[in-house]
Structure 1
Amino acid sequence: MSTAPQAPTPGERLPLRARKKLRTRQALIDTALRLFTERGFDGVTLDELCDTVEVSKRTFFRTFTSKEDVAMAPTQDMWAAFLDDLETRDPRGGTLLEMLRDALLAAIGAMTEEGWAERVRLSGRLAARTPSMDAHGLQFCDRTCRTALDTLHRRLWLTDPAAPADRAAAPGPAAAPPPDPAGGPAGPAPLADLRPRLALDLLIAVFHRALENWTATPGSPTRDDLAALVREAYDAVPGSLTLRPAPRDPAGA
């Protein structure tokens, strides 16, 4: 999983080499998004991209894994910040889903680099019409969810507050599958607790609905506008779980 280089903290100045690396990375992202938007994703080769930025392919592959990776870097940088936030976020006082929402909002808030919002919009529009970018996004999403789950299980007790204390699930490796009495391969391992992964899946769905509405907003919506739409989509989750369907009355249609 490609991750964004760490930005300097207030009062910190990066070494010259690190600053040059960040500038080269940003030039690759900006140039890729401009060329892909003007000529189509498949209309620009990796050689052309590198020639335009005046870097070697070796330099490109030190930072990105593919054209898809550089084109989706703005959003991937946000999810890298989300994973960083999960490493230190205090879980007390709310549900897991609330904790994940707050980590996502903090990650959006951390995207303070000028032009980030416009880069995300360009990247999202490209992904909507480029199958390989869509596939790359699905793979990145799965890796991010797996990393987030690893972090949650490593840092936290994930228990049901309504369950008796002696039945609360303790962290640790899953039980080994029982051997097959006939001497064959062991049977399937017990299913893990699905709730943390489903909470992450809900968060991803919330973000994508917010991102879709944000990208379609006329003008130049901001990072704060995206955060507001994330909150709006999150607040709609409880109602979606209790929404009851009923047939329409043909006479009243």
Structure 2
Amino acid sequence: MVFLFTFAPMENNTQIYGIRAIIEAINADKAIDKVFIQKGLKGDLFKEFETLIRRNGINSSYVPVEKLNRLTKGNHQGVIATISPITFFTLEELVEKVSAKETTPLFLLLDQLSDVRNFGAIIRTAECTGVDGIIIQKKGAAPVTADTIKTSAGAAFKVPIAKVDHIKDAVFYLQASGIKTIAATEKTENSVYDISFKEPCAIIMGSEDLGISPSILKVVDDKAKIPLLGEIGSLNVSVACGVFLYEAVRQRSL
């Protein structure tokens, strides 16, 4: 089987195209971020392909053929997969790796963050503040693209990132591992400056438009908001994340 790779200027990320090539890539455990599928595809091979995508929890999107034509000039055969430039951890691997350190663990969970540049900026701040690992959801999360790497100033190669099926399950796992979970949300009276970050903890940031999912807010250990003194109702998520992380740094340095 021959793998077809290209660098697409619009996505600026490594790609594989063709159903059989992508099937082989999945079976070879390549770190596939997302698959773009032409609407209306049929056939036995395509059914096998769809089943494999679902079984592996790979993020996918059904798009018009014009979208695929813009992503690559090659013969895409109706499907294009983007490959992550980094290797992801499982949650269990990440927690075990961090627990082996002698420092107090600090994790960052991103609930459905979708903008790659926000993601890159957050990774950069996470590296600067000593975050031990970032946890994202397999489906719906911003992919790690070349733009993410650039915005992170290369920090994406330094901070371990784990992918999980559901952020809520990650919250439960971290709590069972002795990690306090703290949600950044305006739906609380607690200020970020009133919450303790000195013990092992995981800070949860929500998506750009919807914030943290209500189901996750119900199960976290604590909630905190950033005081806003102007007329604008919210901060950019990467800026808000920086406020939380540096408050953790401040408290831990006292």
Give the TM-score, by structure 2 length.
0.28
Structure having the higher helix fraction is: 1
- Higher-strand-fraction structure: 2
For the pair shown, the structure with the greater C-alpha radius of gyration is 1
TM-score, normalising length from structure 1?
0.28
